[in-house]
Amino acid sequence: MQYSGWPESGELVVGEVDEIEDFGVFVDMLEYEDKRGLVHVSEVASGWIKNVRDHVNTGQVVVCKVLDVDESSQQIDLSIKDVNDHQRSDKIQEWKNERKADKWMELAFGEDVSDEQYSTVANALVGEFGGLYEGFEQAAIHGPGALDGLDLTDDEVEALVDTARQNVSVPYVQVTGYVDLTSTAADGVEDIRGALEAAGGNGEVPDEIDLEVTYVGAPEYRIRVQAPNYKTAETELEASAARATEAIEAAGGTADFHRERRTDEE
């Protein structure tokens, strides 16, 4: 995806070295339509430069910082030296992600997708999430709910979610806890079974959460949660243990939640 507007001063941009002169380097800006910037020789690298070609090559992909934009004269001043290694790495990864997302748009809506539909969907995702890739990532994690409120048709939402879940590698984290469930009632086995069903969420766990409750060894049960981030995982783990505790205590039993296991693995 290429933007039709102009970059802003201070923004990091990805470009390809198009032409090298003694006074500087011309860079085609890969994220913007028909935009070309100039890196003055003093902004190519720190220190004195004898030969610009010792530092950049034609066709090389570079990350630049936008120093100044003059729309009236169609001039964009850039700097390569003002971008550190960490910024360069992050920006290149961001650019690569956006290129992936651009291809996913074609998968979602077909190679012959109209410019109008592409722009409508892309602008909606960029406006809400800051980028196409981030939009696909949220759709993969949270499903249609992530796109609520966007000016998209049901078919467009379905296409985005289906494509996202087939192509986006979502980072997940896993946390584990244990709960001891005991009951001395005559139907204690049923009480414990009910507590375990409560711990499992009774089928109401969000789509992005993978919650598993398994037997370890009486009276201990393992609760394992996989989620997009630690905060969500920890919250769901604690909620699962709380549901089990409430259910078993309501039946006259007891529960004890702990993070480390107490019985030996089978």
Report residue 64 as tokens: 């630049």
Question: In this structure, what token pair is assigned to residue 46?
Answer: 């720190």
CATH superfamily of 12-83: Nucleic acid-binding proteins (2.40.50.140)
CATH numeric code, 86-167: 1.10.150
Residue limits of CATH 1.10.150 in the chain:
86-167
Distance CA 51, CA 64 (A): 19
Q: What is the mean pLDDT of residues 150-171?
A: 91
Enter the DSSP assignment of 109.
H
What's the CATH fold of domain 173-258? Alpha-Beta Plaits (3.30.70)
Kindly give the pairing relationship between strand 254-258 and strand 173-182.
Answer: antiparallel
* CATH 2.40.50.140 domain extents, the chain: 12-83
pLDDT at position 82 over 60? yes
Sign for the CA dihedral angle at 17, 19, 21, 24 comes to negative
The pLDDT mean for the chain works out to 91
Give, for 72, the enclosing helix (H) or strand (E): none
Q: What is the pLDDT of residues 215-226, one digit of tens each?
A: 998 899 999 999
Looking at the chain, which residues constitute the CATH 3.30.70.1130 domain(s)? 173-258
Say how many C-beta atoms besides its own lie within 10 A of residue 257's C-beta.
18
Q: Give SS3 for 23.
A: coil
Q: Is the pLDDT of residue 145 over 70?
A: yes
Reported confidence tier of residue 265, pLDDT bands at 50, 70, 90: very low
Is it the case that residue 239 has pLDDT exceeding 80? yes
Q: Any alpha helices (H) in 67-187, and if so which ranges?
A: 85-109, 115-129, 132-142, 154-167
- Highest mean pLDDT among 22-31, 167-176, 210-219 belongs to 22-31
Q: Which residue in the block uniquely carries the two structure tokens 């290129």?
A: 99
